[in-house]
Amino acid sequence: MELPFAESYRIKMVENIRKSTREEREQWIREAKYNLFNLKSDYVFIDMLTDSGTGAMSDQQWAALMLGDESYGGARSYYNMKEAIKEILGFDYFLPTHQGRAAENVLYSTIIKEGDILPGNSHFDTTKGHIEYRRAIPIDCTIDEASDTQLEIPFKGNVDPFKLEAVLKKYPAEKIPCVILTVTNNTAGGQPVSMQNIREVSALCKKYGVALQIDSARFAENAYFIKMREKGYADKTIKQIVKEMFGYADIMTMSSKKDAIVNMGGFVAFKNEALWKKAQMFCIMNEGFITYGGMSGRDMNALAQGLHEGTEFDYLETRIKQVEYLGARLDGYGIPYQRPVGGHAIFVDAKKILTNVPKEEFIAQTLGIELYLEAGVRGVEIGAMLADRDPVTRENRYPKLELLRLAVSRRTYTNNHMDVVAAALKNVYDRRDTITRGYRIVNEFPIMRHFTVELEPAH
Ligand SMILES: *Cc1c(COP(=O)(O)O)cnc(C)c1O
């Protein structure tokens, strides 16, 4: 018989997690002002808040930590990271930062002026935050198909080249510091971007004289999907595909807490030496000296090793098959989510489930709270709370999709945990018609409110 699929690793160390009662969870979520970010992690049984920095490092990464060089200038660990970035991604120049948004801060401090335009595919929330904070404007050029959750197409994260060209035509190149291509497209459901699309976007950038930045948190997962789904790539290795992807880019930013499988770290990399030099000042001011930026030597070592492991096919297959496993369980219960399954998470279509909750009362947030109450499973809202208010009118923005993201941490949970998540969601799904009210905001920050917002039940 054909052998079943099994993980490409075994477990060497474990961390205990604790179950709780519904009564306990009701008290804890009330005390957390109904904001899932505010919960103590000890109050969570299965944590799907994010896959960022929550992965399990390998024995090789832990070993690399011990070999970290903590020298202020010119540490060996810096050169290890430099070598890995050159070998795997093909960039000559880089600056280490403490995480992805810090890389954005260094880059955008260098290249954005007030009033600039930054087109791309569904800018990530911190990316959008950094752009709007500088009074520049992100323009979302994602394909329209991305907002139809039930449509099965292989590369739902793509940029619509017509939308992008319309923006590039409308504004002079001096007003467009770069085009931002996010791989995978996190906000649209961890959906990949095809190589053909990367090529098209790059050609448009060249035609209009604009740089291409790849926001690369999940570049390896994107490469896996290209290998599995795009014609002509089945026989290429992940590392070959990655090299081609970044061959089209001028700049990359990376939250290494994702596909480099470290708990903290990131970087911004450049092909152009002059731009790298210009950015150094902002690295020194905000992060640290240019050979460590926001990172310790040991962490740079673990990151370098993580880039190698994160671009191994066996690792990626194990990871993405686990997300697919959860998707298949939800299919069995008829629970709608963004199809096909994305790279790092399942994005449950909350609008299709909680049809009685008005959009003003935060549909996906309400589903997230219900799932937590049901089983101590913590997801995160990708909906009106995250979309925040229009920077000019200050009116709430209501995006087309209200999604509850269930992120799967790398090498962390087993498929038994996925079974619990699916069953808990089924129980909520079965009583969906009884859920008629959501939550209202009591307190919010002027920008990026979702992390700290305080809520109360709307009834
Ligand atoms: C996580 C992420 C970021 C920001 O990185 P942090 O490490 O969380 O600061 C930027 N872009 C994308 C696509 C991400 O997923």
Q: Please calculate the CA angle 101-105-108 and round it to the nearest 5 degrees.
A: 125
pLDDT values of the chain reduced to their tens digit, one per residue, 459 residues: 999 999 999 999 999 999 999 999 999 999 999 999 999 999 999 999 999 999 999 999 999 999 999 999 999 999 999 999 999 999 999 999 999 999 999 999 999 999 999 999 999 989 999 999 999 999 999 999 998 889 999 999 999 999 999 999 999 999 999 999 999 998 888 999 999 999 999 999 999 999 999 999 999 999 999 999 999 999 999 999 999 999 999 999 999 999 999 999 999 999 999 999 999 999 999 999 999 999 999 999 999 999 999 999 999 999 999 999 999 999 999 999 999 999 999 999 999 999 999 999 999 999 999 999 999 999 999 999 998 888 889 898 999 889 999 999 999 999 999 999 999 999 999 999 999 999 999 998 887 888 889 999 998
Of 290, 310, 330, which residue constitutes the final position of a domain? 310
Q: Is residue 3 part of a domain?
A: no
The CA 97 to ligand 1 mean position distance, Å, reads: 12
Of 310, 342, 373, which residue constitutes the final position of a domain? 310
Q: Is residue 395 part of a domain?
A: yes
* Whether residue 50 has its Cβ less than 6 Å from ligand 1: no
Predicted confidence at residue 447, as pLDDT, reads: 79
pTM: 0.95
Which protein residue has the closest C-alpha to ligand 1 atom 1? 255
- Do 26 and 91 sit in the same domain of this protein? no
The strand pair at 454-457 and 439-443 is best described as: antiparallel
Known active-site residue 270: no
Cα 395 from Cα 388, distance rounded (Å): 9
Both tokens of 281, joined, read: 């000042």
Q: Is residue 349 part of a domain?
A: yes
> Coil, strand, or helix at residue 41?
helix
Known active-site residue 72: yes
The CA 21 to ligand 1 mean position distance, Å, reads: 33
Domain count, the chain: 2
- Do 355 and 377 sit in the same domain of this protein? yes
Known active-site residue 144: no
Of 264, 290, 310, which residue constitutes the final position of a domain? 310
**What kind and span of H or E run contains 427?**
helix 415-430
Q: Is residue 76 part of a domain?
A: yes
Which protein residue has the closest C-alpha to ligand 1 atom 5? 100
Q: Is residue 7 part of a domain?
A: no
- Do 289 and 178 sit in the same domain of this protein? yes
* Whether residue 182 has its Cβ less than 6 Å from ligand 1: yes
- Do 212 and 345 sit in the same domain of this protein? no
DSSP class of 85: I
* Whether residue 338 has its Cβ less than 6 Å from ligand 1: no
Known active-site residue 450: yes
DSSP 96-159: EESSHHHHHHHHHHHH--TT-EEEESS--HHHHHHHHHTT-EEEE-B-GGGG-TT---TTTT-B
Which atom of ligand 1 sits closest to the CA of residue 182?
A: 13
* Whether residue 126 has its Cβ less than 6 Å from ligand 1: yes
Instruction: Classify residue 23 by burial, with Cβ atoms within 10 Å: 0-12, 13-18, 19+.
Output: exposed
- Do 225 and 342 sit in the same domain of this protein? no
The preferred substitution site among 215, 219, 450 for testing ligand 1, maximizing ligand atoms within 8 Å of CB, is: 215
Catalytic pick from 78, 91, 108, 124? 124
Cα 100 from Cα 111, distance rounded (Å): 17
275's CB contacts (< 8 A; 6+ apart) are: 110, 111, 251
Any bridge partners for residue 251, and if so which?
213, 270
Q: Is the peptide bond before 177 cis (omega within 30 degrees of 0)?
A: no
- Do 238 and 334 sit in the same domain of this protein? no
Domain holding 259: CATH number? 3.40.640.10
Cα 299 from Cα 257, distance rounded (Å): 11
Predicted confidence at residue 391, as pLDDT, reads: 81
Q: Which domain holds residue 217?
A: 59-310
Q: Is residue 114 part of a domain?
A: yes
- Do 117 and 71 sit in the same domain of this protein? yes
Q: Is residue 227 part of a domain?
A: yes
Domain holding 422: CATH number? 3.90.1150.10
- Do 117 and 76 sit in the same domain of this protein? yes
The CA 313 to ligand 1 mean position distance, Å, reads: 23
Q: Is residue 9 part of a domain?
A: no
- Do 131 and 205 sit in the same domain of this protein? yes
- Do 124 and 155 sit in the same domain of this protein? yes
- Do 322 and 274 sit in the same domain of this protein? no
- Do 161 and 146 sit in the same domain of this protein? yes
Both tokens of 374, joined, read: 């049901």
